[in-house]
Structure 1
Amino acid sequence: MPATPGRADSRTESRADAPTAPSAPPKPAPLAGRATDSIRAALLIAACISAVWIAGHAVGAPAALIWAGALVASTVCCWALGVLPEPTATLLFFLCAVVFHIAPAPVVFSGFTSTAWWLMFGGAVTGVALRSTGLALRLADIIFHKRVGTYPQVIATVAMSAVGLAFLMPSTTGRVLLLMPIVLALAERLGFGPGSNGRIGMVLTVAAASYMPPTSILPANIPNSVLLGAASSLYGINLSYGSYLLLHFPILGALKTVVLVWLVCRLFPETRTMAAQPAATRTAMGGQEKTLAIILALAVAGFATDAWHGVSPAWISLAACIICLLPGVGLVSTKALTEQVHLIPLLYVAGFLGLGAVVESTGLGTAISAALLHWLPLAPGHTVGNVGALGAMGAVLGLMSTLPALPAVLTPLARDLASATGLPLETVLMLQVPVFSTVFFPYQSPPIVIAMQLGGVGLRHGTRLCLSLAAITVLVLLPLDFLWWRLLGYLP
């Protein structure tokens, strides 16, 4: 993936889930290029430190708070702009936070003990099992067979496949990497060549449907998982899979999928006659596929009933992961675990969560909240205005970085925002979901960029779809979502 500004974690997720294959060693970058990148990173970090230092002294902030703000600002900018590789920026954050005593080590490294981290780890292992056993391809064949009669039917099937897979595979890029080759092969069989509306529509459907609607499914995306872990570690609030799904999925999941299908068919219409599909020949399901299907079915059932049994989705995911790794089961070998479950995205999520914990423990979150409360028109009893102001604040922050960073930045501010608005703390936490589910530009969601890259679709087409869908979301879906929240009693 190209290292494009604002796409810091696109490389993270792509490396996380991409199957490994023998290849020639990569050629090292020219020394001059590496030196230039290092200089850019140093200048950016120096600019962040200087800006925070000047602003901090202007408002009379204590030195400890200024240094904490400088570290957080530098780290977020390095992640967002991609001036340093993600693991380098994350490790640098860990090192500086500990060496300069910004926060205690247990706080800095708290991301590794969070439910979000273990949820991602379990999802990565089960994703490997899905690919290696062949169950993923079997599911794709079942989904697409005899469902390609018309172009809208093709787009609807692709969208529902991406959303449905989110219930089984809690990795956005994993779903993209799994579906994209299948969808591209289907496009070729249907006669949709490179550059055709049909191919563009199918690729962008995979891109958007793999990220946007699954934000309403708790363990399906990185922002969801970061929110889950941060809410638990900072406030002791354990988000329930079932209540989260009920609150978000009807509007931001199901209805948004319908709107996405309609919009793709309108923006990228395809009227040509599609080629006939050959009859599919299927083999009987093997023993490993049956075993994995049972494990996944039990895991999904455990996710859906967590409010009843009280076990976090993270530990259910970890249990499924352990079963896949058991020698007697043999779904994921030690070699596959080593080669296909990569450390970089796990390190990245730990960095996100650690940054949020540092913001909270240093008092930086309280200071930022005070500044925001001074500027934002927040007041108890003005629900519509409060919700709109919080959403606008989140949208602006989301435009300045990638969306996975939002929960790490906003969650430490939630308690003060709840006090200012008079809304329950859990409601303020849940108000992040409509924000990070709304993508204005492709760079905000690295998996969307990965999908477009794999499918050979240009930025112009992706931006056109994202802006159009964001406009409909803001004007139609979010007001409906507001009414749905009121009906469920989350908003007064």
Structure 2
Amino acid sequence: MHKPGNHTSLFQLPGVKPLVGVFLSVVAAVSIWFLPLHGLAPEGKKALAITLFTVIWWVFKIVPPAYSTLLMLMGYILLGVATPQEVFAIWTTPLMWLIIGSFLMATAVTKSGLAERVATFFIIRFAGSYLGLIILTYVLGFVLSFLIPHPFPRALLMMSLMRAVIQKSGVNATDAASLGFSVFVATTATSTILLTGDSTLNIATIGFSGLSVGWLDWAKYMAVPGILASVLMMLLYMAIFPQTDPVEIDRTSLILEQDKHGKMTRKEIITLIWVSMALVLWMTDSLHGIDPAWIALLVAVGLSLPKVGGVLDENDLMSGINWPILLFVVGAMAIGTVGRTTGLAQWLAGNLLPAKTPQNPYIFAALVGGVTMVIHMVLGSALACMSIMAPPMVHYAVSAGWSPLFPSLLVYTAVAIHYIFPFQHVTILLGQGDTGGYGSRQVLKYGVPLTLVTLIVLIPIEVTWWMVMGLF
């Protein structure tokens, strides 16, 4: 019998949400297929129907995203929208191999114990107060981005160490949730500073621009905006989540914990040498001309060699690479390629954006950033939003004489640091619940004012900095 006050949403019933998603995806695809979309070629109409169908499957999580992506790729090929060479073009570019190399390097740094040693070193020096721990999440997030080129293992490592500090200091539940949430918020911010800060989103951004952007080139355009974004996000965080109870942190026990690690092991030293070599070569790519992807792969191989390596083994090729994310990147890049070859990107730009491209870069940034943020709130997935928004925005910008990197970085920023609910950023979603100790309430409380911070970063900060750097 139904009890008063025990209301169950239709979407909460088992199996209902996926069925609704399947129904909406079919209706949307069929409608697009038969609608008279003037100016859009038949191949473009097919591409739009298949893409919209897949996006709905992503949003409703009908199956794991990697399988939805595979279905989309097969749809492009089997329905004659694009050739296999076009659909899987990213496998022939350095971008995909940079992602793979970065995953393997991250595995080595974590597996060897080097990352935990570095993190513990910084924790002892910053873990003196509640605010010190908040600052630590940003400092450590940035430092570890040199060693671990992916946000997931960085955030999980930092959280494991933060959890130990929380338990030893007797922090109350409210402050514990705030400290856990800070780890994942800081990871989203600091991931924007370096090209290898996020080996999926950052590298996908370069792919959408169609330009060759090196490690130092990314730092030239994004390091200052990324650092300022991190500072603004940290100050906002401190204002929204103030300390509620005194925190007594036992630094002596932390030092004793560090002493247990002893001297650096052979694997840690070897890993540090190989990763340092990669950083030096990435920073000097303009001198030697070797693409960062090939450097990452060579370092990964070096870490597996006998005598001078021995950190990575054949099992790491499967367990160390996040294959679902890799397939998702393939799908995102395929949407961009298909959008360009079928004329879909041009059609979307012509129908969704003003006919005349703003010549003022600040107005252009407000338009691109604002539209992207709105679409991101609907789609949820950052990479899915980028794959939909970047191609038409790039076409829109290039037609007015802007560099294609300009809209690509704007779209990237709008999805990389902005969210209101956990599902709108995979790193924030990763920490929700038992992992980070926070829930949707904390994310919403921070996400709403974060919208204003994101606009400040997008418009006055990034545009002004890029003008100084000569991007225009």
* TM-score normalized by the length of structure 1: 0.85
Q: Is residue 263 from structure 1 mapped to residue 236 from structure 2 by the alignment? A: yes
The C-alpha deviation readout for 1:319-352, integer Å capped at 9, x for no partner, is 2211122344211122333334342222221121
Q: Report the secondary structure of 1:427's partner residue.
A: helix
Q: Is residue 173 from structure 1 mapped to residue 152 from structure 2 by the alignment? A: yes
Say whether the 8 Å CA contact 2:41–2:342 is kept in structure 1: no
Read off the aligned partner of 2:293 and give its amino acid letter: A
Among candidates 343, 347, 354, match of residue 323 of structure 2: 343
Residues 216 and 394 of structure 1, relative CA distance in 2, 3 Å threshold: farther
Unaligned runs of 5+ in 2: 1-12
Say whether the 8 Å CA contact 2:361–2:463 is kept in structure 1: no
Cα distance between partner residues in 1 of 2:143 and 2:56 = 34
Say whether the 8 Å CA contact 1:152–1:261 is kept in structure 2: no
Among candidates 22, 27, 34, match of residue 47 of structure 1: 27
Structure 1 residue 376: deviation in Å? 6.0
Determine the structure 1 residue equivalent to 2:430. 450
Q: Work out which structure has the larger RCO, using CA pairs closer than 8 Å and 6 or more positions apart in sequence.
A: 1
Cα distance between partner residues in 2 of 1:361 and 1:469 = 36
The C-alpha deviation readout for 1:247-296, integer Å capped at 9, x for no partner, is 22212x22222223322222222240413222331411111110000111
Q: Is residue 295 from structure 1 mapped to residue 274 from structure 2 by the alignment? A: yes
Among candidates 215, 224, 246, match of residue 241 of structure 1: 215
Determine the structure 2 residue equivalent to 1:386. 364
Q: Report the secondary structure of 2:357's partner residue.
A: coil
Residues 427 and 63 of structure 1, relative CA distance in 2, 3 Å threshold: closer
Alignment of 1:303-322 (within 5 A): 303-322=282-301
Residues 475 and 129 of structure 1, relative CA distance in 2, 3 Å threshold: closer
Structure 1 residue 439: deviation in Å? 0.8
Among candidates 451, 458, 464, match of residue 483 of structure 1: 464
Read off the aligned partner of 2:328 and give its amino acid letter: Y
Cα distance between partner residues in 1 of 2:288 and 2:235 = 39
Unaligned runs of 5+ in 1: 1-31
Residues 467 and 166 of structure 1, relative CA distance in 2, 3 Å threshold: farther
Among candidates 341, 344, 357, match of residue 361 of structure 1: 341
Determine the structure 1 residue equivalent to 2:3. none
Q: Report the secondary structure of 1:369's partner residue.
A: helix
Residues 327 and 86 of structure 1, relative CA distance in 2, 3 Å threshold: farther
The C-alpha deviation readout for 1:74-126, integer Å capped at 9, x for no partner, is 12222233222112101111211111111011011113233332122112111
Number of aligned positions between the proteins: 449
Q: Report the secondary structure of 1:216's partner residue.
A: coil
Cα distance between partner residues in 2 of 1:476 and 1:408 = 22
Range with greater deviation from structure 2 (287-296 or 156-165): 156-165
RMSD: 2.3
Determine the structure 2 residue equivalent to 1:411. 390
The C-alpha deviation readout for 1:390-411, integer Å capped at 9, x for no partner, is 2222222222221122332233
Cα distance between partner residues in 1 of 2:331 and 2:391 = 15
Residues 411 and 188 of structure 1, relative CA distance in 2, 3 Å threshold: same
Q: Report the secondary structure of 2:311's partner residue.
A: coil
Determine the structure 2 residue equivalent to 1:226. 204
Range with greater deviation from structure 2 (41-50 or 333-342): 333-342
Identity within the alignment, % = 22
Determine the structure 2 residue equivalent to 1:212. 189
Say whether the 8 Å CA contact 1:414–1:428 is kept in structure 2: yes
Structure 1 residue 58: deviation in Å? 4.6
Alignment of 1:364-379 (within 5 A): 364-373=344-353, 375=354, 378-379=357-358
* TM-score normalized by the length of structure 2: 0.88
Residues 311 and 407 of structure 1, relative CA distance in 2, 3 Å threshold: farther
Q: Is residue 460 from structure 1 mapped to residue 438 from structure 2 by the alignment? A: no
